[in-house]
Each structure stands twice: as structure tokens, then as C-alpha cells.
Chain A
Amino acid sequence: MNTIALVGNPNSGKSTLFNVLTGSNQHVGNWPGVTVEKKEGSLKYNGITYNIVDLPGTYSLGTYSEDEKVARDFIVNERPDVVINVVDATNLERNLYLTTQLLEMGVSVVIALNMMDEAAERNIIIKADEIGKALGIPIIPTIAAKKKGIKELLDKTITQINLKQNKIAFGYGSNLDIEITALSNAIQSTEVDIPSRWAAIKLLENDNDISALFSDDKGIKLLVEDIKERHPDVELDIVDKRYEHIYKISKLNVLNPDVEKITVTDRIDKVLTNGFLGIPIFGLIMFIVFQMTFLIGSKFLGGYAENLVEWLGIALEKGLVAINSPSWLISFFIEGFIGGVGAVVVFVPLITVLYFFIAILEDTGYMSRAAYVMDGIMRAVGLHGKTFISMIIGFGCNVPGVMATRTLENKKDRMIAILINPFMSCGARLPIYLVFIAAFFPNNGGLALFLIYSLGIAVALLMGKIFSKTLFKGDSAHFIMELPPYRIPSAKNVLKDTWEKVWDFLKKAGTIIFAVVSLLWVLSVLPLGVEPYSKASLLGKIGAFIAPLFAPAGFGTWQASVSLFAGLAAKEAVVAVLGMVYTGTNEGAELITAIRGAFTPLSAVSFLVMTLLYTPCAAVIATVKNETKSYKWAAFMAIYPFVLAWFLAVLVYQVGSFLGF
């Protein structure tokens, strides 16, 4: 029985054609040794039965994937009588690459130029006969889904069975053709039974499977090495010739009037990535995002979260009193849990809105533009352009931000990117800003947030410049980043992304923040008998011990000091601790009101500068240690941002005080 194999790119309509040819006479199994599906069936045509094999969809016949290997091994080892190469007429140029490889194998090929209806809909005009002549094989237009062209295809296929082999209609340049012929002749004289010319090409393409067949043949190996010495880029040259051949054929015989030369994306990018406008537009977009965050998250939604936390606190307290709970337990839940974790949770609406807008920006494809427009600045200060990508990721969380620096090849670029990443204000620091903005700058929330984030970027760039001039000197490598086409953001993607981030935030509030708050609550009521949350408690003593350090920055209180200390575990803990210690000292007082009493606008700014820049959380330090494999750099990461943050916070407070703020 003659065997007809179907070969084609994925989505070329190959399986549809297989179903049309075999109807219900098919069975499905697996190719031996692999998990690739094997579909085989039979076709009775003009009284003769043919075996039809549907080979896996593949773009080429190399060894990079199981699908490619299965398709190729079947053709080489099983030698089907004819191969029907199913080609997608709407994507001819790409599909013909596989065709050229089939021709190299010397098998008998018929092209089913499929999906002609879709090509017609797109106004693609294809001179099928001319392409057939250029390739030296029959080409039959088909619409497998509508069973059109099938009879013509079968007639031509059966005629082709008797021809056994196609004439290869293209070469690789005279010099290389001579080499291939010599190698092919040498292969023919061996006992290896495979198409010799194809094997010669594959040996020059560094094909491991074919090379293994000649691993003991010193003559062949020497010949291959000699050719490669004369043609160092022989693999590329061979692939190039295939494309050249395809290019010539498609340019002469395919008319594709619908291809847009200037797309909507190009037009938008002309403005958004403009050399002068790109950065101001990026700044404006972020400013609008922050303004919208405050407008929607705080003014419209903020009250609901506060009311919910307040209601929970009252209900919990009533419940605990009703069951005669001891006072320490009530204190733990109300002042510790609700006061601490609740202080973080009330900012969930704002955080949700911010993540929602960031998700929209990501889904439209704008974030890669943001990275691109910042590329110029990055290079100007001696940083690798890729650094900004890790910085953008750092806006979410510095842990993946530090990990994202893995894409930087040289140590200089990578170390700088790691060391400046924590200045990118991560999401965990947001509640700190939000509580201070609500206390002191409620009417300029968006602007204040924008300035905080901008300060983080500015300090990162400045430190990057200093590091590239001192610790890590050297040139940065060239790279380009892909600007994907803009698209309308998908509601599903945006909501899913927002939800995942908010959920992670809540999980952290319920676990790490709760653990930190619980520990600090214990410290706040010890030693026994002391007034809880007083300076006499262990917590108060720790805070009071650290406090003098921050006095020059204007926030030398034990409460502020202990909150910064807790922030080393996780940044959200800063607000959680402030919530706990202030509601503890003055039961029922709102955190924001308490903050207004404990800070001045100037010391609040100084405190914000400190929290923006000081030592990153423990998870980031651990990641720096893992990524650099060095305790020294992890220690440096813990110390230098603290020193820098302290210096700038003191500078802000002292200069501000001098100026009379």
C-alpha cells in the first residue's frame, strides 16, 4: 500500500485535510518513545487504498523539538511515497521554509495551497502555477474546510507517487554547492542509508542526530571540519539561501496589498517614544495615574474600607467582652490586630485602584515604551538600558526587581542594577505614603505620590552614576527591546492582574504583618504590669534607644523609630506599628489624627524620604545575597541605603527648618 504523508506548519489546515481524506477511517496513537500524537488513516481513491499519515505540525525539519524530529524521522526512515505539504496561503512566505527543507530531502512533494478563501478575503493574490514552476513541484489550490480542490490534489498526488523524487530547484551559491556535492559523494560511499545531499547539508548545519551517524567516520568528520573552516558561517549561509529562494519566489508571485506599512502602533509611537516628548509624557501618565488613584481610591472608595475595619473592631471587641475574654486578649485583638493589620488594610481600595491603572498600562503595551524612553537617560548616567526594566519591576516589589537583573550579562551592569533597585518604591511602601499624605497633604495626594516615586528614580539614577564611575567601571552592551503592538486592554487580564496583586497584599497583611504586629504587641505589654504602649514597655525602650538617631531628621520619637525598625521585616509593618502604638496610647483615636499630632508637615516629609530610601526589607536583602552569592554585598545593601536615607532625611529637615517650614 502506498503511503502519503501530510506535512505542514501548525494551523495550516493539515488536520482538516487529513480528516477530509480519511473520514472515519483513522486511528490515533503515539509516536514511539515520544508523547507526540500519531494520526494515521486510509483513503480509497479510484479503487486503490492509500495509507495516510498526518505528521505533527512543524515550521522546519530540524531537531529543536519533538514534533520536528518525528516529522523528519518519518520522512527519512519510513520514506513515504509522496508528501503533501499543506501550505497556508495567507502566510506563504513563512510556510515555504518547510517546503525548501522537504525538497532538500529529495522526497516527492505536492503542495496543497490551502485556505485560499481566507487569502482571497485578505486580497492576497497568489500565482500558484508560477510558484510551482519555480519550486519544481506541483501546487494545487485547496480549501480543505470546504472540501474544495481535493480531487485535483489527489490526482496530482497519485501521479507524483510514480516520480519518486523531485529535482532540487535551488542551490547555495557556487562555492558551497561544490562543497556540498563533495560531501554528498563521500556520504554516498558510506553504508549509511539516508539521502546523501540532505545529510551533507545537515552535517554542515551542525545537526546532532546526523552527526552521530558519522561519529566513527574520520573521513567525513575531517571533510566537514575543512568545509566549516573555509565557510565559518556555513549554517547561516545555508539557511540564508533558503530564505533568499523563498523571498525571490514570493516577491514575484504573491501580491499582498493589505500589509500595512505604517500601523496605528507606529503612529502612536511617533508621539509616545519621541526623543523630546517621551519622558514628559511618561511623567504625565504616571501623574494622572496617581491623581486618579487618589480621586477614586480615596475619595470614593476609601471610606468603605475604614468603616469596615472600624465595624470589625467594634464587633470583635463586643464579641470578646461578651465571652468574658481577658483584657490582654482584647488588647491583642483590638490594639494589636485591628490597630496594626487594620491600619494597613484600610488602604486596600487605594492600592487596588493604583494596581488597576498599572495593569491597564501593562496590558496596552505601554510599559515597554516607558522602559524605552528611559533608556536614553539610563545610558547617559552610565547604566545599561535593561536596568530600567528591573527598576519598573521593582515598583511592584524589589525582590523580583533584583531577580530581573539576571538579564544583565556583565557584572558591572548587574551589580549597579541590584544596588539601585530598592530605591524604586515598592508596593509595600504605599500604605506609609498614603497615611502621611492623608494626614498632611490630602488635597495634593497625586502630586505628592508622584514626587515620592520621582525622588526614588532620581536617587537610583544618581547612585547608578556614582557606582558606574567608582565601584563598577566599564562599557555597557548594546541591546534592543521589543515594542509590541498596542492593544486595547483586556478586562480579564486587567482584573486578574489587579486581583492577584491585591490578594498577595492581603495575604502578606494576614501573615507576615500579623506576625510582626503580634511580636511587637508582646514587646509593648512587657514587662508585666507596665502601661501598655508606654515608653516604659520593652517596645518603648527599644524605640527610645534608637530615637536619638532620628532626632536630627525631626522624627526622634520612640514610636517612629520602632516603626522604622519593624519595617526591616516588611515595609507595610511601618504603618501597622504606627497604627498599633498610636491607637494603643489613645484608644479610639484615628491613626491619621494621631500622626498629625506626632509629626509636623516638615518632619512628615523627612520621614517619607527616610521610608522611601532606607534599608530594604529582609526578603530583598536575602535575595541580594542569593543573587550576588555574597554576604558582603548583602551587608552593603543593608547599610548604604540607610546611611543615604538618613543623610537626605536630615538634610530635608534641617534645610526645611532653616527656611522656616
Chain B
Amino acid sequence: MLTNVLEEIYNAKVFSKNKIASNLNITESSLDQMIEQLVQMGYIKEEMGSPTCESKCIGCSISCHVTPIKMLSITEKGKRKINNT
């Protein structure tokens, strides 16, 4: 299952939870959990596409982006796993 998720992400152009969950015939909630585990195990890297506002940007007239864009990328470990599957 996890390898399938990894492959889906590797082959996807965008990350649509609904689409990947539907392709794998699992619930979105389970997919969330699997992705979290793949991140914890170091197969996927998850990032938010905007800086946190913990440190106020000096001289910045605009507040930080309110809706960060989530991005996923396959790590080297993940790529190795996919290639060995």
C-alpha cells in the first residue's frame, strides 16, 4: 500500500488527495495517515510553500500568505524504493 502511494505521488503531476485515494481505493483519511508515515520514514518530503510568520519580516508591508501551498517530493530513499520495486 505504502509503495503504491509512493508510486502514485511519483507519477502524479499534482497532489489531489481525492484522486490518489480514489486510484488506490482507500479513504482520504487513510491516505493522509500513510503520507504522514512516509514522511516520518524519510521516503517523502513535505513542505509548505510559504515562510512562517514566526519572525516578522522587517520592512515588509504585507502579511505572510494566509494559505500556504503544500508540496510533496520524493526523497532519494523514496526513489530507491520505487526503482527497486
Q: Does A93 contact B (CB under 8 A)?
A: yes
| Contact among B25, B27, B47, B61 for A94, CB-based, below 8 A | B27
Q: Whole-angstrom distance from the CB of A514 to the nearest CB of chain B? A: 13
Contact A481 B14, beta carbon cutoff 8 Å = yes
For window 348-375 of A, CB contacts with B under 8 Å fall at 359, 362-363, 365, 367-368, 371-372, 375
> Which residues A242-284 have CB closer than 8 A to chain B?
243-244, 246-247, 251, 256, 259-261, 263, 265-266, 269, 273
A426, CB-defined interface residue at 8 Å:
yes
Segment 32-82 of B: residues with Cβ below 8 Å from A: 32-34, 37-38, 40-41, 43, 47-51, 57-67, 69-74, 81
Residue in contact with B25 in the complex, picked from A251, A479, A572, CB distance below 8 Å? A251
| B18→A94 contact, CB < 8 A | no
For window 196-240 of chain A, which residues contact chain B by CB distance below 8 Å? 233, 235-236, 239-240
Shortest Cβ distance from B38 into A: residue: A236
* A61 to B82 alpha-carbon distance, docked (Å): 27
Given the contacts A64-B40, A93-B26, A397-B57, A483 and B62 also touching, CB distance less than 8 Å = no
Known interface pairs A372-B14, A386-B71; A235-B62 also in contact (CB < 8 Å): no
A569's nearest neighbour on chain B, judged by CB, is B59
Asked if A493 is at the interface of the complex by the 8 Å CB criterion, the answer is yes
A472 CA to B16 CA, complexed, in Å: 32
Interface pair B57/A500, CB less than 8 Å apart: no
Residues on B with beta carbons closer than 8 Å to the beta carbon of A246: 30
Contact A478:B73 (CB < 8 A) given known A236-B43, A247-B26, A407-B47? yes
Q: Name which residue of chain B comes closest to A479, CB basis.
A: B73
Give the residue of B3, B51, B58 whose beta carbon is less than 8 angstroms from that of A404.
B51
In the complex, residue of chain A having the shortest beta-carbon distance to the beta carbon of B25 = A251
Q: Does A396 lie within 8 Å of B59, measured CB to CB?
A: no
For A233, give its contact among B29, B51, B81 (CB under 8 Å).
B81
Q: Contact: B72 with A482, CB < 8 Å?
A: yes
Question: Which of A187-195, A504-512, A650-658 contacts its partner?
Answer: A504-512
Q: Are A244 and B1 in contact (CB under 8 A)?
A: yes
- Could you tell me if B61 and A93 are in contact, using CB atoms closer than 8 angstroms? no
Number of A-B contacts (CB under 8 A): 182
Are B61 and A504 in contact, CB atoms less than 8 angstroms apart? Answer: yes
Q: In the complex, which residues of chain B have a beta carbon less than 8 angstroms from the beta carbon of A64?
A: 40
- Closest approach, in angstroms, between the C-beta of B82 and any C-beta of chain A? 11
Contacts of B38 on A, CB cut-off 8 Å?
236
Q: Tell me whether A481 and B61 are in contact in the complex, defined as CB-CB below 8 angstroms, given that A400-B50, A404-B49 are known contacts.
A: no
**Interface-side segment among A133-141, A449-457, A615-623:** A615-623
Of B51, B60, B73, which is in contact with the most chain A CB atoms at under 10 Å from its CB?
A: B60
**Measured between C-beta atoms, what is the minimum distance from B8 to chain A in Å?**
10
A481: contacting residue among B37, B62, B69, CB under 8 A: B69
Interface presence of A91 (CB below 8 A)? yes
Closest-by-CB residue of B relative to A64 is B40
User: When chains A and B are docked, how far (Å) is the Cα of A427 from the Cα of B60?
Assistant: 10
Contacts of A500 in B (CB 8 A): 63
CA distance A60 to B41 in the complex (A): 14
Q: Is the interface of A mostly helix, strand, loop or mixed?
A: helix
C-alpha spacing A239/B57, complex, angstroms: 41
CB of A312 within 8 A of chain B? Answer: no
Expressed in whole angstroms, the Cα–Cα distance for A94 and B73 within the complex equals 23
Do residues A59 and B65 form an inter-chain contact, with CB atoms below 8 A? no
The answer to whether B61 and A428 touch across the interface, beta carbons within 8 angstroms, is yes
Q: Which of A243, A365, A386, A508 contacts B67 (CB 8 A)?
A: A365
Interface residues on chain A, size class: 35 or more
User: Knowing A94-B30, A403-B51, A482-B72 touch, does A505 contact B16 (C-beta < 8 A)?
Assistant: no
Chain B interface size, as a band, is 35 or more
Q: Is A412 at the interface (CB under 8 A from chain B)?
A: no
Residues in chain B near residue A407, CB distance under 8 A: 47-49, 71
Distance to closest chain B CB from A624 (angstroms): 13
Q: A93-B30, A261-B22, A403-B57 are in contact. Are A247 and B1 (CB under 8 A)?
A: yes
Residues from chain B with a CB closer than 8 A to the CB of A484 are: 70
Which A residues are in CB contact (< 8 Å) with B59?
Answer: 399, 508, 512, 570, 617-619, 622
A371-430 contacts to B, CB under 8 A, are: 371-372, 375, 386, 389-390, 392-393, 396-397, 399-400, 403-404, 406-407, 409, 426-428
Expressed in whole angstroms, the minimum distance between the Cβ of A585 and any Cβ of chain B is: 28
Given A236-B81, A239-B2, A269-B16: A481 touches B57 (CB 8 Å cut-off):
no
Cα A363 to Cα B66 in complex, Å, equals 8
Closest to B51 in A: A403
A485 at the A/B interface (Cβ < 8 Å)? yes
Question: Would B18 and A265 count as touching, CB distance under 8 A?
Answer: yes
Note all chain B residues with C-beta closer than 8 A to A236. 2-3, 38, 41, 43, 81
Say if the beta carbon of A501 comes within 8 Å of chain B. Answer: yes
CB-based nearest B residue for A235: B41
Q: Are A259 and B27 neighbours in the complex by a CB distance under 8 Å?
A: yes
Q: Does A643 contact B (CB under 8 A)?
A: no
Chain A nearest Cβ from B25, distance in angstroms: 7
Q: Shortest Cβ distance from B72 into chain A, in angstroms? A: 5
Please measure, in the bound complex, the distance between the C-alpha atom of A256 and the C-alpha atom of B27, giving whole angstroms: 10
Q: Mark A557-576, 1 if CB is under 8 A from B, else 0.
A: 00000000000001010000
Q: A273 to chain B: which residues have CB within 8 Å?
A: 14
Chain A residue at minimum C-beta to C-beta distance from B31: A94
Q: Which residues of A contact B26 (CB under 8 A)?
A: 93, 247
Cβ–Cβ contact B63 & A504, under 8 A: yes
Residue contact B69 to A371, C-beta cutoff 8 Å: yes
> Is the CB of A497 closer than 8 A to any CB of chain B?
yes
User: In the complex, A482 Cα to B9 Cα: how many Å?
Assistant: 10
State whether A240 and B19 are in contact (beta carbons under 8 Å apart), knowing that A59-B33, A500-B63 are contacts in the complex. Answer: no
Whole-angstrom distance between the Cβ of A14 and the nearest chain B Cβ: 17
Q: A386-B71, A478-B10 are in contact. List 16 more A-B contacts (CB 8 A).
A: A93-B26, A236-B41, A236-B43, A243-B34, A246-B30, A247-B1, A256-B27, A375-B13, A397-B60, A400-B64, A479-B73, A481-B72, A482-B14, A485-B18, A504-B63, A623-B57
The 3 A-B residue pairs with the shortest CB-CB distance in the complex, in nearest-first order: A619-B59, A389-B49, A396-B62
Interface residues of B (CB under 8 A from A): 1-3, 9-10, 12-19, 22, 25-27, 29-30, 32-34, 37-38, 40-41, 43, 47-51, 57-67, 69-74, 81, 84
